[in-house]
């Protein structure tokens, strides 16, 4: 049955920071400064944000989508397609023929917003696009989705699409595995990307007879895809069904970078049930200045509100990690060692998970340096920790 969902038209929205959406993450309150008007939506709108960790202006697009979603003003979901991820880059390049970053593709290209000069401007543009998409006529289908956490970064995912039309339905389903608050990808403002796309659970054509249902299930194993760091309370599975009817789309409106657009008929999303409370955010300590080729040891510690044993994950900031270290009793200090190969500035981050795979927030980053000139002070490193977006700039300026 086609849903008519009340959305909200926001005329003017005030920027607010949004640090992530796990159960333990705090979100700031948005303020509406004008009256709002209710609108009926034909379906749940879907947005795909094309972005990258090096994109200067993508932070504004990211913040705008976070604000809209956190405010609950519309029934919509979004995924962040980072070119740092090969599958995401293929989606942007091959399917959307994208011209630049950031670009947001709403409902499979029914509306395309390119660029973001600042957060409020992007936010207003995205609100308008969501409203336009929400008022589209769509095929009468129902999309249901269920996810069960198996353990060790694995999930049992079940999806079904019911065709309520009197004619055959042809389309394409994509089921996106996303991390609600990314453990590995930050925007240039230093905030973790939200709903960062990791992998597909399903990506295939579907055909459904009248008044019939297409159904499928799979076991998705994150470890097999190098995503063993995910935890059950920081995962969102998002499904979108794209109609097979072709439309001419442009990734650089009004007529640049043409692509084949297939509009979204329905979207749904869910997360696996969580069985315990997350550990507190860990504290990390260790040497701040080092030398390449020398092994250094770092410590991390936190507590679990349920007293569960915990594992720790050390991200060394150079594309490598420790894997899950443990288990340790709550409040017991963990340690891991690492050797850096190249001179540079690095941010070490740690997170913990309990024995039920419920994860903590990431620790505050510990800034370290493998310098050409060892006369670099701790004050400089503290400055970097307070201004994480300066890391890539200073790497370039200092030739590190």
Run of H or E residues at 220? strand 213-221
DSSP string, 157-215: EEEEEEE-SSS-EEEEEEEEEEEEEEEEEE-TTSPEEEEEEEEEEEEEEEEE-TT-EEE
Q: Check whether residue 243 and residue 305 sit in a common domain.
A: no
Q: Check whether residue 79 and residue 168 sit in a common domain.
A: yes
204 assigned to some structural domain: yes
Q: Residue 196 and residue 182: Cα distance in Å, rounded? A: 6
154 assigned to some structural domain: yes
Q: In terms of Cα–Cα distance, which of 344, 349, 333 is closest to 385?
A: 349
Q: Check whether residue 199 and residue 319 sit in a common domain.
A: no
150 assigned to some structural domain: yes
Here the tokens at position 104 are 């947001």
Burial of 21 (0-12, 13-18, 19+ CB in 10 A): middle
CATH number, domain of 20, equals 2.60.40.10
205 assigned to some structural domain: yes
143 assigned to some structural domain: yes
* Final residue of a structural domain among 273, 291, 321: 273
Q: Residue 45 and residue 105: Cα distance in Å, rounded? A: 11
Q: Check whether residue 13 and residue 146 sit in a common domain.
A: yes
Query: Which residues are bridge partners to 160 per DSSP?
Result: 144, 215
The answer to whether 195 and 80 are in contact (CB under 8 A) is yes
278 assigned to some structural domain: no
Cα within 13 Å of Cα(3), Cβ side: 16
Q: Check whether residue 312 and residue 265 sit in a common domain.
A: no
* Final residue of a structural domain among 273, 294, 316: 273
DSSP string, 96-118: T---SSSEEEETTTTEEEE--SS
Q: Residue 310 and residue 333: Cα distance in Å, rounded? A: 11
72 assigned to some structural domain: yes
Q: Check whether residue 159 and residue 248 sit in a common domain.
A: yes
* Final residue of a structural domain among 223, 252, 273: 273
Q: Check whether residue 292 and residue 254 sit in a common domain.
A: no
Q: Check whether residue 148 and residue 261 sit in a common domain.
A: yes
336 assigned to some structural domain: yes
Q: Check whether residue 98 and residue 234 sit in a common domain.
A: yes
Question: How many domains does the chain divide into?
Answer: 2
Q: Which residues contact 337 (CB under 8 A, 6 or more apart)?
A: 295, 296, 297, 298
Q: Check whether residue 63 and residue 88 sit in a common domain.
A: yes
Q: In terms of Cα–Cα distance, which of 160, 60, 57 is closest to 101?
A: 57
Residue 379 is part of which domain span? Answer: 283-398
Q: Check whether residue 295 and residue 394 sit in a common domain.
A: yes
Q: Check whether residue 70 and residue 183 sit in a common domain.
A: yes
The answer to whether 142 and 1 are in contact (CB under 8 A) is yes
- pLDDT tens for the chain, 400 residues long, are 343 333 322 222 222 333 333 333 322 222 222 333 346 899 999 999 999 999 999 999 999 999 999 999 999 999 999 999 999 999 999 999 999 999 999 999 999 999 999 999 999 999 999 999 999 999 999 999 999 999 999 999 999 999 999 999 999 999 999 999 999 999 999 999 999 999 999 999 999 999 999 999 999 999 999 999 999 999 999 999 999 999 999 999 999 999 999 999 999 999 999 989 999 999 999 999 999 999 999 999 999 999 999 999 999 999 999 999 999 999 999 999 999 999 989 999 999 999 999 999 999 999 998 865 555 445 555 665 566 555 555 544 444 4
């Amino acid at each position: 049955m086609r849903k008519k969902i009340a959305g909200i038209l926001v005329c003017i929205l005030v920027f607010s920071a949004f640090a992530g959406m796990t159960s333990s993450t705090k979100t700031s309150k948005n303020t509406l400064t004008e009256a709002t008007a209710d609108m009926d939506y034909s379906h749940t709108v879907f947005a795909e944000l094309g972005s990258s960790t090096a994109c200067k202006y993508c932070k504004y697009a990211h913040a705008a989508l976070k604000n809209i979603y956190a405010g609950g003003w519309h029934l919509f979901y979004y995924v962040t397609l980072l070119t740092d991820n090969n599958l995401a880059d293929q989606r942007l390049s091959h399917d959307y023929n994208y011209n630049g970053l950031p670009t947001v593709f709403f409902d499979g290209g029914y509306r395309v917003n390119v660029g973001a000069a600042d957060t409020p401007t992007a936010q207003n543009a995205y609100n308008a696009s969501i409203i336009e998409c929400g008022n589209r006529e769509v095929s009468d289908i129902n999309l249901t989705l269920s996810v069960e956490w198996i353990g060790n970064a694995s999930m049992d995912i079940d999806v079904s699409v019911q065709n309520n039309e009197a004619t055959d339905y042809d389309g394409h389903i994509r089921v996106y595995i996303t991390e609600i608050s990314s453990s590995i990808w930050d925007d240039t403002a230093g905030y973790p990307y939200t709903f960062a796309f990791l992998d597909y659970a399903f990506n295939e054509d579907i055909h459904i007879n009248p008044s019939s249902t297409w159904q499928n299930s799979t076991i998705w194993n994150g470890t097999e895809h190098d995503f063993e760091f995910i935890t059950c309370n920081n995962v969102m599975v998002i499904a979108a069904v794209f109609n097979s009817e072709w439309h001419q789309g442009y990734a650089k409106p009004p007529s640049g970078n043409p692509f084949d657009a297939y509009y979204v008929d329905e979207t749904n999303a869910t997360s696996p049930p969580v069985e315990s409370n997350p550990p507190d955010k860990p504290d990390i300590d260790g040497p701040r200045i080092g030398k390449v080729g020398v092994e250094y040891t770092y410590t991390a510690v936190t507590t679990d509100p349920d007293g569960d044993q915990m594992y720790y994950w050390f991200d060394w900031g150079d594309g490598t990690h420790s894997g899950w270290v443990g288990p340790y009793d709550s409040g017991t200090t963990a340690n891991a060692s690492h050797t850096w190969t190249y001179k540079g500035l690095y941010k070490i981050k740690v997170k913990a998970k309990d024995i039920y795979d419920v994860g903590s927030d990431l620790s505050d980053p510990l800034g370290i340096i493998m310098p050409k000139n060892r006369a670099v002070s701790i004050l400089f490193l503290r400055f970097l920790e307070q201004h994480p977006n300066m890391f890539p700039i200073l790497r370039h300026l200092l030739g590190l």
